[in-house]
């Protein structure tokens, strides 16, 4: 199953990549195909990143959310789109491991 990882980045040290990469490992170890936005190439603006992220959300079968996602403007939008498309959205610790 393709699982998009959604969570906060802006304002976090190293853009919270450690948590995204840990979640990627959890999902990979469980046999899923993670779609990790921390792996996107560098972009010029927040909007440019979000455009890439939303393409991945639409390609996904489900979404794993990281702690603090509710306070992230981008993650909240990603989760909204996932719900609108009828996808399962679960915290990463409910996927079988903690990030």
Q: Is residue 62 within 8 Å of residue 89, measured between CB atoms?
A: yes
**Every domain of the chain and the residues it spans:** 2-95
At the top level of CATH, the class of 2-95 is alpha beta
pTM to 2 decimal places: 0.95
For 1-99, where are the E strands, in sequence order?
Answer: 2-6, 33-35, 62-65, 88-91
pLDDT in tens, 14-70: 999 999 999 999 999 999 999 999 999 999 999 999 999 999 999 999 999 999 999
């Amino acid at each position: 199953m393709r699982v998009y990882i959604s969570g906060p980045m802006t304002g976090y040290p190293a853009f919270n990549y450690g948590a995204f990469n840990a979640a990627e490992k959890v999902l990979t170890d469980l046999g899923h195909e993670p779609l990790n936005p921390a792996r996107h190439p560098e972009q010029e603006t927040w909007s440019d990143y979000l455009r890439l992220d939303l393409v991945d959300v639409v390609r996904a079968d489900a979404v794993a959310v990281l702690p603090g996602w509710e306070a992230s403007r981008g993650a909240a939008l990603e989760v909204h789109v996932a719900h609108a498309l009828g996808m399962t959205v679960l915290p990463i610790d409910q996927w079988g491991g903690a990030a």
